[in-house]
Structure 1
């Protein structure tokens, strides 16, 4: 309403339960962990549905999804994994529908995030936080990646794909807080799935 157009949508919302990292099997954890399928997967679909006509009208646009290697490896249980795999698939399938419109979709695997919650967990232990930070990313890091993606003249070639944030940073020469270069966890956790070119209408 204020700008008269929409250029970018970032689907990052998620319901993260306090028991997410509990190592118990999913049936011994609260059913509410499944809320991530609503506030995460469904909300990304709904937001994209509303944004799509505005992005198409602008002739150029980007829908970025934030995801993680949990979409291909076991990470925090099946609800979390299904949500991450789901947003990767949303990016892949929406790219097919957006073909020829100038709108691109990309899913970005983030690393360990240095959120306020994570920093708080290390309160009183600055050395441990510093060690963890060597392998982590700030939320702002992903923001810089999305900005670079939007301005990339070859964005269309990435549309529909899932990319690893740390590897995308190498492409654009972006560093994190203090000049750090977050590592890619491809070798340890797996690689993004490549979408099939088959289309069934």
Structure 2
């Protein structure tokens, strides 16, 4: 798998007739999370993936937006240490970057990935489709019921 900048990725992927462009996003796209700027940016990322899906139709290139759950990173580990009473339960089910990387690799390797083109996907849910778990077999939960679900773009195309 090769990682390129967006303009380069588009040219290379379309010329090759295959490719995967993944935007990382979150439930903050549809619920209040971390303030207005965060939500607007996440909604924009989802819309970007949806519109690129239109542009990439019939090219072999797939664009998706991937909603990750809480992530276990150095920053979140530090926050957990500083505020265990606030974050311990929340971080118990956190996803690792490796988990999300395996999800992205599975989408990339899926011969039927074109069916996902332009969609916003929930990492914990799509992981189930591919049999992906965290170390030890733990399955991170989807927060769809608590935080909302991806918006379905209207099928109208105005050019």
Fold similarity call, TM over 0.5: yes
2:147 and 2:86 map into 1 onto residues whose CA distance is 23
Partner of 1:150: 108
Per-residue deviation at 1:177?
2.5
- Counterpart selection for 1:123 from 74, 81, 97: 81
- Kept in 1, the 8 Å contact 2:80–2:91? The answer is no
Asked which structure has the greater RCO (Cα within 8 Å, sep 6+), the reply is 2
SS of residue paired to 2:81: coil
Structure 1 contact 7–55 (Cα < 8 Å) conserved: no
CA distance in 1, matches of 2:29, 2:12: 29
Q: How many residues align?
A: 159
User: Does 2:36 match 1:69?
Assistant: no
Structure 1 segments of 4+ aligned residues over 6 angstroms from their partners: 124-130
Q: State the distance in 1 between where 2:87 and 2:150 align.
A: 28
Mapped pair 1:107 → 2:56: no
Deviation at 1:49, TM superposition (A): 2.6
SS at match of 1:107: strand
For residues 74 and 146 of structure 2, what CA distance do their matches in structure 1 show? 26
Distance 1:199 1:124 in 2: 49
User: 1:88 corresponds to which residue?
Assistant: 46
Consecutive unaligned residues in structure 1, runs of 5 or more = 1-5, 10-46
SS of equivalent to 1:136: coil
Query: RMSD between aligned alpha carbons?
Result: 2.1
1:169 match: 127
